[in-house]
């Protein structure tokens, strides 16, 4: 069996596992409600693709794919949504802009209708433990959800540090659980996939996972309407360019957040150090590479635009490039360290909140303890 055939077989097995588990599970026993989340689906009838948008599970990447599909049809008349000149440009857009355009310009719906399900329906899941930690780094360690960070800090009577609010991972998890168990809205960035995607109500044709999405895309593109040239452009970006383009997109986003909340972190160099650490956590930079403070200081003396900063990050990412195995082990190492500090009570609450995600998408309910 070829790698492509094997991936297709795995995706079909996931669909079957989802459908079977939905039938065998007492969904009424689940204590959390659909009203606690805000669902969002993208639908492109012309491309024959619909997608449940799950933040922190490849949603930026998939939104960019939808931009590319739109460009594939509308490039000649100049009406493409993203206004980007090329597919490469699409994948270098700031994440903030990507989601702003996607949510306002793409055809969206809070739930797939009967007509929508005639398209190829795609769901992308992610291990709940990994997704929670990713949300913490992106939205609390860095400047993503500052209001929530302030709320947590006030409740803990913590003062602002030299660069933002030092909310711990445990404090973040306590905040998530308090809202979820209290019946309050659950932020989309960590809301259970079961709730966001109505996983047992929508008949999905393709079930992918965050850690296999890039390799699954070739099979996904085979099931939708896309020109050969666009298909090849997308595969080329995914296979050889996506790491760098993803980094460019992220840094642009992080820099814009810093400019918005500069009063919380007056020295840009302090925030760049945080971005540097976040890239190590994401497996984009080797963990033993020290932060080149002097070089970054020289770069920002020329101005606070992101170009010089991006060039430095890309230089170190290229010079100390991790293999796929090294990246996987490094990401896992940071995840294990993070959960080693989490209380058993909180682990139990995570297991209950994400019970259906663990079961429906076949993830281990045990917290990460080994690399």
**Secondary structure (DSSP) of 138-158:** IIIITTS-HHHHHHHHHHTTP
Give the pLDDT confidence of 32-46 residue by residue, as tens digits: 999 999 999 999 999
Q: Say if 153 falls within a structural domain.
A: no
Residue with tokens 């058993």: 344
How many CB atoms lie under 10 A from the CB of residue 367? 18
CA distance 128 to 96: 23
CA distances from 362 to 14, 176, 263, 298, 368 (A): 8, 23, 44, 48, 15
Would you say the pTM of this structure is higher than 0.75?
Answer: yes
| Percentage of the residues of the chain whose pLDDT score is greater than 70 | 97
Task: Write a three-state SS string for 80-118.
Answer: CCCCCCCHHHHCCCCHHHHHHHHHHHCCEECCCCCCHHH
Q: Give domain status of residue 263, yes or no.
A: no
Q: Is 315 a member of any domain?
A: no
- Return the closest-CA partner of residue 310 out of 253, 370, 265: 253
pLDDT by residue (tens digit) across 2-12?
877 888 889 89
- Residue 23 falls within a domain, yes or no? yes
- Please state, as a whole number, how many other Cβ atoms lie within 10 Å of the Cβ of residue 50: 26
Q: Would you state the pLDDT for residue 81? A: 77
Q: Which of 132, 136, 109, 112 is nearest to 122 (CA)?
A: 112
> What mean pLDDT is reported for the chain?
92
Per the structure, the count of domains in the chain is 1
Q: pLDDT band at 77, cuts 50/70/90? A: low
Residue 61 vs residue 76, higher pLDDT: 61
What does the angle CA 164 – CA 191 – CA 204 come to, to the nearest 5 degrees? 140
Report d(CA 303, CA 84) in Å as an integer: 25
Beta bridge partners of 94: none
Mean pLDDT to the nearest integer, 149-170: 87
Tell me if 44 sits within 8 A of 246, measured CB to CB: no
**83's torsion region: left (phi>0), alpha (psi -120 to 50) or beta?**
left
Tens of pLDDT, residues 203-227: 999 999 999 998 899 999 998 999 9
pLDDT in tens, 176-208: 999 999 999 999 999 999 999 999 999 999 999
Q: Is residue 74 situated within a structural domain?
A: yes
Residue 201 falls inside a structural domain: yes
Structural domain boundaries, residue 76: 3-126+190-240
Residue ranges in the chain assigned as alpha helix (H): 3-24, 59-74, 87-90, 95-105, 128-136, 146-155, 169-181, 193-197, 213-222, 228-236, 242-260, 268-281, 293-301, 307-319, 324-340, 344-353, 355-360
Task: For strands 120-125 and 108-109, give the pairing.
Answer: unpaired
Structural tokens at position 105: 């310009």
Q: Mind listing the pLDDT tens digit for each residue in 266-282?
A: 999 999 999 999 999 99
């Amino acid at each position: 069996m070829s790698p492509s055939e094997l991936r297709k077989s795995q995706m079909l097995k996931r669909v079957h596992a989802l459908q079977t588990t939905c039938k065998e599970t007492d969904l009424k026993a689940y204590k959390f409600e659909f009203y606690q989340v805000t669902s969002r689906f993208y639908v492109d009838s012309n491309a024959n693709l619909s997608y449940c948008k799950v933040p922190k599970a490849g949603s930026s990447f998939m939104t960019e794919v939808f931009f590319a599909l739109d460009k594939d049809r509308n490039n000649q008349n100049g009406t493409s949504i993203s206004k980007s000149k090329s597919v490469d440009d699409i994948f270098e857009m700031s994440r903030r802009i990507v989601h702003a355009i996607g949510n306002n310009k793409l055809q969206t719906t809070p739930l797939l209708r009967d007509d929508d399900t005639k398209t190829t329906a795609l769901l992308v899941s992610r291990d709940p433990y990994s997704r929670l930690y990713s949300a913490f780094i992106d939205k609390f360690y860095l400047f993503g959800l500052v209001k929530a960070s302030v709320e947590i800090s006030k409740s803990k009577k913590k003062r602002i540090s030299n660069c933002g609010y030092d909310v711990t991972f445990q404090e973040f998890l306590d905040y998530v659980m308090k809202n979820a168990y209290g019946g309050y809205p659950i932020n989309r960035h960590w809301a259970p996939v079961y709730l966001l995607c109505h996983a047992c109500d929508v008949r999905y044709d393709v079930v992918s996972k965050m850690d296999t999405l890039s390799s699954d895309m070739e099979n996904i593109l085979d099931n939708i309407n896309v020109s050969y040239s666009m298909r090849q452009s997308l595969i080329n970006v995914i296979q050889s360019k996506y790491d760098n383009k993803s980094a460019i997109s992220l840094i642009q986003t992080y820099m814009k957040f810093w400019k918005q909340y500069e009063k919380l972190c007056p020295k840009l160099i302090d925030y760049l150090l945080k971005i540097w650490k976040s890239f190590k956590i994401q497996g984009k930079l080797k963990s033993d590479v020290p932060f080149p403070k002097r070089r970054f200081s020289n770069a920002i003396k020329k101005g606070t635009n992101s170009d010089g900063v991006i060039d430095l990050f890309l230089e170190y990412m290229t010079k100390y490039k991790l293999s796929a195995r090294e990246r996987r082990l490094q990401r896992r190492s940071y995840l294990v360290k993070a959960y080693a500090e989490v209380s058993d009570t909180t682990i139990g609450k995570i297991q209950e909140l994400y019970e259906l995600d663990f079961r429906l998408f076949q993830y281990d309910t045990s917290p990460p303890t080994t690399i």
